[in-house]
Amino acid sequence: MTAQAEKFNNLSGWRFSVAPMMDWTDRHCRAFHRVLSARARLYTEMVTTGAVLHGPRERLIGFDPAEHPVAIQLGGSDPGELAASARIAEGYGYAEVNLNVGCPSDRVQDGRFGACLMREPALVGECVAAMKAAVAIPVTVKCRIGVDDQDPEAALDALTASVRAAGVDGLVVHARKAWLQGLSPKENRDIPPLDYPRVHRLKAAHPDLPIAINGGLNSLAQAQAQLAHVDGVMLGRAAYAEPALLLGVDPEFFGTPAPVAGPFAAVEAYLPYIAARLGEGIRLHAMTRHMLGLFNGRPGARAFRRHLSTEGLRANAGLGVLREAVSFVSREMADAA
């Protein structure tokens, strides 16, 4: 293993990570996910360089040390601004800086970053080089296999060659094209066909470059199967919608026990964090909205979700609302159909 690969793989949790997701993987979500897995690597929502440099920094990128290992995902295309933002992120204590080269929203197209950077591999390389020169923590890239009418073979090879030359520490590949014209961001997560073999070929061509795969993985079994071909796996919506699956990550991917015994114990473990945030004036729903799928498959799960989605929105909602919601859930699983 090269020194570069060893540096990256030694960062705890990279074998399994939870994808950065706008409006979802905020600090409360990450605190909850950390209750479920001590080892999975967690990512912030994408934060633009403009927000890091000029916005309310603590609110946008501050985090609880208990979230570690946690990485920040940056959006931008100016090497100098990315370097400055990476330096700030390192000062905050992040374990990794990840550059977004995959988001297909109108916002990123207007700002010349995200997935549209797949068309500018040389610029992506300049951005990576600037960040590498600015920080000691790993600098990684999350990309697609191409955009619009690009040939995924040529597009992904060109991007990889450019970032490798710049010293990138790892690559996370969403195994779909992004269509910048004609598909919404939501449709871009489902409609373009998955092409896992393209990512596998990339890894075979670059055996010493750490490569993780993302896109369409809905279970730990599917994720585990990918590790025969790549170094890491990243789950997004499945991990968010079915958070209890994260209880299997530490045993299955790292050979260590789950930090809590099950979903009911996870609620208890999360309560002190919720109580502390309530004391800071944060509303209950900001935290419990990330828990709605925790009891999926159990009798009473619907009542749990309904109670949190209604009572949890009240301005004075406290821990009692969450405890009452949990009381609706059976501690016995329903019989298999």
Residue 115's pLDDT is what?
A: 86
Residue 65's pLDDT is what?
A: 87
Name the pairing type of β-strands 97-101 and 211-214: unpaired
Which neighbouring-strand residues pair with 177?
146
Class of residue 136 by CB neighbours under 10 A (exposed 0-12, middle 13-18, buried 19+): exposed
Q: Any idea what the Cα angle at residue 52 is, between residues 96 and 243, rounded to 5°?
A: 55
Residue 7's pLDDT is what?
A: 47
Q: pLDDT tens, 148-181?
A: 889 999 999 999 999 999 999 999 999 999 887 7
Q: Cα-Cα-Cα-Cα dihedral of 321, 324, 330, 336, to 10°?
A: -30
Chain Cα centroid distance, residue 8: 17
Residue 185's pLDDT is what?
A: 67
For the annotated catalytic residues, the residue numbers are 103
Percentage of residues of the chain with pLDDT beyond 90: 83
Q: Any idea what the Cα angle at residue 143 is, between residues 67 and 90, rounded to 5°?
A: 40
Instruction: State the CB neighbour count (10 A cutoff) for residue 195.
Output: 18
Which architecture characterizes domain 3-254 according to CATH?
Alpha-Beta Barrel (3.20)
Torsion sign, CA atoms 180, 99, 54, 95: positive
Residue 13's pLDDT is what?
A: 61
pTM of the model: 0.92
* Tens-level pLDDT at each residue, the chain (337 residues): 344 444 444 454 689 999 999 999 999 999 999 999 999 999 999 999 999 999 999 999 999 888 999 999 999 999 999 999 999 999 999 999 999 998 877 665 566 778 899 999 999 999 999 999 999 999 999 999 999 889 999 999 999 999 999 999 999 999 999 887 766 666 766 667 899 999 999 999 999 999 999 999 999 999 999 999 999 999 999 999 999 999 999 999 999 999 999 999 999 999 999 999 999 999 999 999 999 999 999 999 999 999 999 999 999 999 999 999 999 999 877 544 3
Task: State the Cα–Cα distance between residues 54 and 38, nearest whole angstrom.
Answer: 33
The secondary structure element, H or E, covering residue 100 is strand 97-101
Residue 103's pLDDT is what?
A: 82
Chain Cα centroid distance, residue 52: 18
The secondary structure element, H or E, covering residue 152 is helix 152-165
Task: State the Cα–Cα distance between residues 86 and 94, nearest whole angstrom.
Answer: 9
CB-CB contact of 291 with 323 (8 Å):
no
CB-CB contact of 297 with 245 (8 Å):
no
Binding residue numbers: 20-22, 73, 142, 174, 214-216, 236-237
Q: Any idea what the Cα angle at residue 289 is, between residues 285 and 290, rounded to 5°?
A: 135
Task: State the Cα–Cα distance between residues 217 and 197, nearest whole angstrom.
Answer: 14
Binding residue numbers for FMN: 20-22, 73, 142, 174, 214-216, 236-237
Reference 267, options 327, 212, 180, 206; nearest CA is 327
Q: pLDDT tens, 102-130?
A: 887 766 556 677 889 999 999 999 999 99
Task: State the Cα–Cα distance between residues 269 and 251, nearest whole angstrom.
Answer: 19
What the block records as the tokens of 325 is: 């919601």
Task: State the Cα–Cα distance between residues 60 and 53, nearest whole angstrom.
Answer: 11
